[in-house]
Every structure is written in structure tokens, then in C-alpha cells.
Structure 1
Amino acid sequence: MSPPPPETYDILIVGSGNAGLSAALSAYYSYSPSSPNRILIIDKCPPTWAGGNTFFTAGAYRTTHSGLSGPSPLLPFVNNVSPETAGLVDLDAYTIEQFEDDLMRVTDGRTDRALARVLVGDSYETVKWLREVVGVRFQLSFNRQAYKVDGRWRFWGGLHVKTEDGGRGLVEDELKAVGRCGIGVRFDTAVRRILKDDGTGSVSGVVVERDGEEVVIRARAVVLAAGGFEANPEMRKKYMGPNWDLAHVRGTPHNTGDLLSIAIRDVSAKVTGDWTSCHSVAWDANAPHDSGDREVSNEFTKSGYPLGLMINIGGRRFVDEGMDLRNYTYAKFGRAILEQDDGCAFQVWDNKTIGMLRDEEYREERVERITAGSIEELADKCVEVGLNEKRTFIETIKRYNEAVYAHRKEHPHAKFDPTIKDGLSTQSSRLTLDPPKSNWALSLDEPPFLAVKVACGITFTFGGLAVNPQTAAVVSSRTEKEIPGLFCVGEMMGGLFYGNYPWGSGLMSGAVFGRRAGKAAAEMVSRC
């Protein structure tokens, strides 16, 4: 039997997550092909896993803005703020300088400055495009990024908008837009090779496997948006070191790094970024190990640690839970948990802050809650699920409380405020802790007490391919020039994040560079 004939398109997008869908829609609106089937999206996953890791996100977009009014306001984009509610909202502007500073600070200055400038500079216009052109439903993130203080909603952490129904809603909205545009989408279609024109050096398409057969798809531009290697335990261990094969996969099991390896092999794509680290969070220790659960989605995240303590199975604290606002620490604390014995820890609170924990993450239907009327009883119950050192656990909390009391004695007017770094700490002239708790250090002495067991959940890897920041065109490791016709966006693109990242900048990066890649691909095709 002869092989099936090649299929031909103008632009091929590999990956059905936010970055790939943004690229496809940008290409469509930039190019407006007369025949809508000239843009095609493929993904190796089945339709039931559409959306990649995007589906599992909280849908948060970090963007610059002028607050509720001014030249770049947020209110026109959101659908959950009535005029009455708007009068109760305190939301400061988030400037270009603040976004750049946050990105540089959390990556220890290692982020590629050219990529960072594009990400930050395009962020507001990209959110505007997603809302007005694509039809993405945005909301103010009351449930994740605001506390009610003195009767007013006070937003914090430079992250203020999310999509309705999180990542699930984002994928739904973007796929609806793809359908309206008539852009083709094919699942169960895995790329096996990238093809180049021997004469011009341009990418000319891909070879895919579909239903057990190899099929050639010709395209004048190819956008790679197939995710990192977070769901590949062998690659994680190879690049990130021991025990990373034991991390829980937060999202899709299909992001196994295949396309990264194929691009390096077939077209000598240049690698860049931090291949030794990733986005990793405190994750429910009882969650599935090798993939996320699309029904539960992001609710396995356990991000309430700034309001309490994290204690390892040896009974000791191991991070400064209050070193910074959660948005700037949650993506690196998964690594800290993985480095503990058994790769697990306990998050602990008392009655003062239990009610402040997000219901979607900590309600009884979602997580195994360990409750007790005393610290001793709590320790006994934690022993039943993995705590090895009961006495050390009790002594750690006792010593922590003593340090909190000592700080309050020296600072009697200090006030707890979860929306800022409030300075409530464990450090005083009489007593200090190592590690400290630098902010939000409330004593754990008011029953009932609550603990949950957490592990490391890996979201996405930071290493990827080098691109031209202006177009997201892939750079060759041989020539240091762009590979004609090849683009890379989303988690596959390296150079932005090192060791950590500011919450909400991942989806923003996918949309910003996806939009640029789609436009550049359409312009290239139009010139041909």
C-alpha cells in the first residue's frame, strides 16, 4: 500500500494549549486566508486532553495596568464587578517597572532581558486582544488575589485578573474562537520528524504519526507549542537531578519533551534557559502521581503556607514561609518539599487563619484534613500518615510560638496584614529562628488546629529553545541565525524563567509570544 499523500497548509501549529491557540488565532487575524483550512493545529494527545497544561492552570494573567481607571484600566475587561463592588475595591496600578523588577528579582537577574521587555511591554495589549478579539472571559481574581480588610477588597501581589472558570474556561473560550475562525484541529497526531528544504534551509513541514501510519504535513511555517518535559521522569532526572522522577505531575501526561528533542535533532535548534529547574508547587500528597486530574484540575495546589507553617516529616521547618508574597514563592517551594525526606511535608495552621484558606484547595471534599484540639493530638494524627518525629514537631511549634511572642513584645503595635509584607516575624533581640518566618508570623496556639500533607507538584520545566524575542523565530545552534519558517512559544521557549517565576507570567508569556509568532508566520507566508 502506498503512503498517504502529503497534506498542505500555510501554517501548522503543534500544541493545543494557550500558546498554540494564541498563535493560531493571531495568524488567522493577521493573515485572513481565503481558505480557513490553511491553518492547522495538531496535538499528539486525544481530544479528552485538549488544552495541555493550560487546562490545569488557575487562569491568571500577570499584566501591567493603571488600576481601575486611567489609560490602561482593568474594569473594561472583567465581567464580575458591579459598580457597587467597584466602590469597595482597592487595586493599585501595576507598572512596567514593577513587572520588570518582579521578573528580575525572582529569577536572580538571569532572565533574558530582551524576552522580558517584550513580555512586559505587550502584556496589557495582549489581554485586551484576548478579551476583545478572541472572546476570553476575564474576571478580577477575588478568590485568589484579594482579602477583605476593613470591609474593602484589597488586591495584592501584582496579579489581579484571571479567566472565568480558570484554565478550563480559558481553553473553552480559545477553542470556541478557533472554531468560529474555521481553523482545523486534529488530535492523536504526534510529530515524529521536522522537515527542511535542503536548498533553502527553511522548514517545510513535519512527519506525523496518525492511526499507526506516518503522514507528511507540508507547511510554509511551523509553530512549536507542545510544552516542556515535565511529564517525562527520565528527562527530569537527567536534567534536574536525583528525585525529580518522583515529583507529582500537575497537568497533562503528554508533555514529555518529544518535540524539544526532535527540534534539536532535526534542525539543530539552539537550547537556552534553565534546564535544571522548573515551576513546582506544594501539591496534595494524595493526588495522582503521573498526571493531573481534569475534574479536580488546579485544586490540588496547596498555597496557604504563608498563613501557617511547613514542617517536614522529621518535625522541622525548612523554608521561610513568609519570605515574600505567595505569588513570588509558590513556584519554587515544590522543590524545597521534594528535597525533604520522602519528598513530603505538613502544612499547619490554627483557628486564627484556617478560615482564610481558599475553599477550593482546602475544603473537606478536596483534601484530607487532619484536625485536632491540641498540638500534641495533631502530632499523633500526623504520625499516622508519615510524621517520623512527634516530639520534634511539637518542639518546633513551641519554639516558633516563643519567637512570635518575643517579637510582639518588642513590636506591640505591629499589625497582621496578608496583603502586604507586614513585618510580623519570628526575629527579635531575644530570640531568632533559622529559618525565620519574616512576615505573617502569627502564633499557633488557638485550637482547633489543622494540618494537610503535601508533596511536590511539577507544572512545567524552564529549559527550552532559543528564539528571536521579536518574532519567536527559532535560532539555529549551528549558524546562530533564525531557522526560516520555524517558531517556538509557550513552555518550549527558554530564557525567561530561572529557578522561579512570578505567578501569572506563564500564561502571559504563552499569549504574548504566541501572538507574535502567529503574526510573524502569517506575514512570512503572505510574502511567499
Structure 2
Amino acid sequence: MDSDESYDVVVIGGGNAGFSAAITAAQSGAQVCLLEKAPFEDAGGNTFYTAAAFRCCFDGLQDLLPNLFQPDGTKGLPQDLVEKIEMAPYTEADFHADINRVTKGRADPMLADILVDNSREAVQWLMDNGAKFILSFNRQAFLVDDKYKFWGGMVMSMAGQGKELFEFHLNTARKYGVNIHFDSPAVDLITDPTTNGVVGVKAFRNGSLRTIGARGGVILACGGFQASQALRAQYLGPGWDLAHVRGSKYNTGDGHAMARKLGAKLEGNYSGCHSVAWDANSPILSGNRTLTNRYTKSGYPLGIMVNIEGRRFVDEGFDLRNFTYAIYGREILKQPQGIAFQIWDANGSRFLRQEEYADDVTANLRAGTLDQLANILVTRGLKDKSQFLETIAEFNAACKSFQEECPPGTRFDPTVKDGLSTQGTSKSLRVGKTNWAVPIERGPFQAVEVTCGITFTFGGLATTRSAEVVSEATFKKIEGLYCAGELLGGLFWDNYPGGSGLTMGTVMGRIAGREAVRRTKTRHTNDGST
């Protein structure tokens, strides 16, 4: 193929998955080009906006300690802190159980196996290349009885969150000679007219269209379609064009479109997505590069959520936050005007993370009494003050009734599903709260207005175990075309275990990078070039 330039591997997309693919390929000695649609000042994909939490299997605290850092960059944890940490191992069986539970058994078993089996190796690869991981004390642990009790299986994140994860990938890629081009949107894949195999890509650079050859293959890692209002409404349904975009505004389904032109098979939950309770005062069309993930409002398990009619609409304590936060944005969007209020009393407020609920991050609405809080909420859209007060009165009564009936020793514990419920034998609610149900009665009271923030879409491309994109017509691989990251379809359905998206991005990115290099070497050998 005649081209303006040529490489062994071309990667489209500059987030965690794309950089994982590019770096892995470059570490094998391949010539690699990475094309990123966004200009440098807006680059990083969704990765930039994340809390950079990674879910992986591990054998307990001692397994992780040699690779952990403190937030200030110091290697290792002080012994007195280590002695205060309670952390259970997270086994392959645990990871599989969490995937099966939250996806209701719909996750592609092959993809689930790939994720679980390679999760620890993927995180270790990041660590070995200089990524600084810290324990998520602020997100995944509560101080109970003078012990930091970690919960939910996801215990680590990158120091500096998504911003630092992007910087790490960028610096590592440059170290290994990856040719990185920002403000260079890929617009089409180039194929061999005889085999239909992918041999390159057309991309704009500096205002001109260039053809870029790929001897080993092209890796699509350019995200979902969550930033396209039109595609959201088409696939997710009515009202989804009103959701706020949590991350990159450049994830508009380009990879889906390019692959579809070649007959790629679409796979997975096209009506599903990762969506969270998100600050109602956030930007609508893209994330904020200063506050990034801090617009998330994940403190609802410690209180309640009500809509503008003053009624609760979800079980806030159905499961640990890791396993519900990605679906409750959808439930908020279903409510009148697509907004809701999160409510706590003084007992619940003390557990809220300042990262998300500090006064310089969100508009906290506070009052000394529930009646006063209701008056404030009326000015923010609450339609029925009396219903709001009745909802809380009924909730409090149900909490107290259950506590009178529950077994001795049952107590509030935010680190486990504690069983404190509203659903007793003598009193229960139409919409119950399964865990952490304690009365909201001690002032001062606090509320935050939330809406739906969409993170990424679940529908994507079908692949083989080797990350090769599959043809809809033949159910065989499309030669030279690979996929990784949020463009991958079939793993997440309706929900996902928190932290598994970034892990799968690294896992599948590394597989795609290795396979593209292997194909490069095979083609060189077959052509007699080596």
C-alpha cells in the first residue's frame, strides 16, 4: 500500500487502553504510532477524568505492600499504619462472583475469564513501569474501631487519579519511542481489496488527510459513543440526550462507525451504560478537567435519595457502593426533570468524602431542621414539601421498627452489608432500604442536587480471545483489526464492578499490542523479509 508513512502498529485512541496497547507493542521493539482525536490540552480520553481505581485479584495486604506508595510519593507504608489495616484477599472466585452478580450472569464468560485471569498481571505491569499505586483510604475504607476496614474488593488507585495515570502513560510511551500525534482524528480504515484485511488508516493531521500504513494491524481504542447525544438517544432510548457527559467530549462512536463499515460484528448491551449520580451543576457536554471525578456523588448509601415529588425511588442500600453507583444515574434520569436530592442527617454526613462533597466542589444545602431543609429544596425544584417530610417520617419509623425486631448485636457498619433494613415484619416500605438504614433525625441536615452523569456505553465490538475484531458475516476475525477499552462489547451488562473498566482496558490493550506485534513478525517472515 502506498502511504504517507508506515508503522508496525497503529493505535487509535489515547486513553488507558490505547496507551497500554501502544506501550506493550513498543516494548517488543515494534514501530508504533498512536493517533488521538483531541488536542493535547484536552487529551487523555475518559482516563483523564477517572479516580484511576483498578480492580484486581490479590492475596491480601502483604501481596500489595511491596509496590504501594503514600500520596506524597514516598515508597512504602509506615508500620503503625499497616497494623491498623484490615483487608481481605480478593480471589478469582470473588471477582467472578461480583461480575456475575452485577451483570445478572450476562457477561461473556470468555471476556470475564480474560479480565479475572489477567487482572493482577496487568496492574503489576503498570507498577513495574513506574505507576504509583496508593491504597484508597478515602474511597474504599472506613475507620471503625480504630481499624481501616477495606470493603468491596477494589482497594487501590493511582496517586493523582486519572490525571497522573494519563501522564504516566504519556511519559512511558515516549520513553519507548511511540510516535504520538494529538489533534489527529482517524476517519477511515484502509483495507486490502483482496483479503479485506486492515492495512492502515486515514487520519487528519495539521489540516490535511494522511494515509498511515500498519504492517501488523490497527488497534481501535477510541472509546464508546457516550459523548454523542444522537447516538445515546438512538441506542439508550428517549431522554438520554439530556444526560451530563462525565468525561471526554471526543468519544462519539468513531470506532464503532469505522469498524462497522468493514462489517464488524456489534456485541453486548447497546441499551446499557455506566451512569452515576452526578452533580446537577456540572457541565453538560463534557467533564471538567480541574474537578474531573469529584462531581461524582456516591454518598447515597449513607442516606436517602428523593425525586422532586419528595419520594424515594431506589434501594440506596441494595449493595456496597462499588456495585450500585454505575446504575443509579439511570434511575435518576427516569425521575421527573431527571434530577433528585441526596439527603443525610449529621450522622450520615460525617462519612461523606470531602473529595466529592466539599463546599468548593458542590452546592451543599444545609439546615438545622427538616422543615427548614424542605423550604430550601422547594427553591431548588422540590414540588411537594409535605410529601418530602412524610417520606422521611415513614422512613424513620420503618428504621426504628426494624431495629426493635433485629437480632441482638446488629449494628450500623458501612464496611459490610450490615442488614440494617426498613423491611421488618410489623412495618416496611414500598421502596425499602436493605442495608445501612438508620433514621434521618439528627440535625444539621444536608442535601445535594444530583442528575445523571454518563461515563461510558456498554455496547461495542465483538472480539476473539486475542482482541481481534470479528466479522458479522463470517464470524471470523477481520485480519489486522483489534479492539480494546470501552469500545469492547459483551463484558458489562446494565452494571459493572467498580474499577474493572480500567483493568480490562489495560488487560485487553496489552493483548492487542502483543498480537499486533506477533502478526507483524509473522508477515515479515512469510514475505521473506527476515
- Range of TM-score over shorter length: over 0.9
Q: CA deviation at 1:210?
A: 2.4
Question: What corresponds to 2:527 in structure 1?
Answer: none
Question: What corresponds to 2:42 in structure 1?
Answer: 49
Question: What corresponds to 1:227 in structure 2?
Answer: 223
Matched residue SS, 1:234: helix
Matched residue SS, 1:330: coil
Q: CA deviation at 1:243?
A: 0.3
Instruction: Give the partner amino acid of 1:440.
Output: W
Q: CA deviation at 1:5?
A: 5.6
TM-score by length of 1: 0.96
Question: What corresponds to 1:296 in structure 2?
Answer: 291
Quick one: distance in 1 between partners of 2:78 and 2:174?
Answer: 31
- Pick one of 467, 472, 485 that aligns with 1:472: 467
Question: What corresponds to 1:149 in structure 2?
Answer: 144
Q: CA deviation at 1:347?
A: 0.1
Q: Does 1:244 align with 2:240?
A: yes
Q: Does 1:363 align with 2:358?
A: yes
1:105-144 correspondence runs (5 A):
105-132=101-128, 134-144=129-139
Matched residue SS, 2:326: helix
Deviation per CA, 1:314-342, whole angstroms, max 9, x where unpaired? 10000000000000000000000000000
Matched residue SS, 2:322: helix
Q: CA deviation at 1:254?
A: 0.3
Question: What corresponds to 2:434 in structure 1?
Answer: 438
Quick one: distance in 2 between partners of 1:32 and 1:195?
Answer: 24
Q: Does 1:381 align with 2:376?
A: yes
Greater shift, 409-418 or 362-371, is seen at 409-418
Q: CA deviation at 1:361?
A: 0.3
Greater shift, 136-145 or 454-463, is seen at 136-145
Q: Does 1:78 align with 2:68?
A: yes
Deviation per CA, 1:45-90, whole angstroms, max 9, x where unpaired? 1101221000111110000000023xxx111221122222111110
- Pick one of 452, 459, 468 that aligns with 1:456: 452
Question: What corresponds to 1:279 in structure 2?
Answer: 274
Report if aligned partners of 2:3, 2:212 keep a CA contact under 8 Å in 1.
Answer: no
Percent pairwise identity: 47
Q: CA deviation at 1:414?
A: 1.7
- Pick one of 159, 163, 169 that aligns with 2:158: 163
Deviation per CA, 1:396-449, whole angstroms, max 9, x where unpaired? 000000001101111253210000000011111111012100100111000000
Question: What corresponds to 2:507 in structure 1?
Answer: 512
- Pick one of 18, 21, 24 that aligns with 1:26: 24
Q: CA deviation at 1:244?
A: 0.2
Instruction: Give the partner amino acid of 2:87.
Output: L
Report the RMSD for the aligned CA atoms in angstroms.
Answer: 1.0
Instruction: Give the partner amino acid of 2:33.
Output: L
Unaligned runs of 5+ residues in structure 1 are none
Question: What corresponds to 2:184 in structure 1?
Answer: 189
Q: Does 1:62 align with 2:55?
A: yes
Quick one: distance in 2 between partners of 1:434 and 1:165?
Answer: 42
Report if aligned partners of 2:26, 2:177 keep a CA contact under 8 Å in 1.
Answer: no
Instruction: Give the partner amino acid of 2:66.
Output: P
Question: What corresponds to 1:319 in structure 2?
Answer: 314
Q: CA deviation at 1:156?
A: 0.2
Quick one: distance in 2 between partners of 1:413 and 1:142?
Answer: 26
Quick one: distance in 1 between partners of 2:386 and 2:207?
Answer: 58
Report if aligned partners of 1:135, 1:174 keep a CA contact under 8 Å in 2.
Answer: no
Quick one: distance in 1 between partners of 2:194 and 2:397?
Answer: 74
Kindly report structure 1 stretches of 4+ aligned residues shifted beyond 4 Å: none
Q: Does 1:7 align with 2:2?
A: no
Q: CA deviation at 1:259?
A: 2.1
Greater shift, 499-508 or 182-191, is seen at 182-191
Unaligned runs of 5+ residues in structure 2 are 71-76, 524-530
- Pick one of 344, 347, 352 that aligns with 2:347: 352
How many residue pairs match? The answer is: 514
Deviation per CA, 1:171-224, whole angstroms, max 9, x where unpaired? 111111011112111011111111111123220101112233211111121000
Question: What corresponds to 2:526 in structure 1?
Answer: none
TM-score by length of 2: 0.96
Report if aligned partners of 1:249, 1:290 keep a CA contact under 8 Å in 2.
Answer: yes
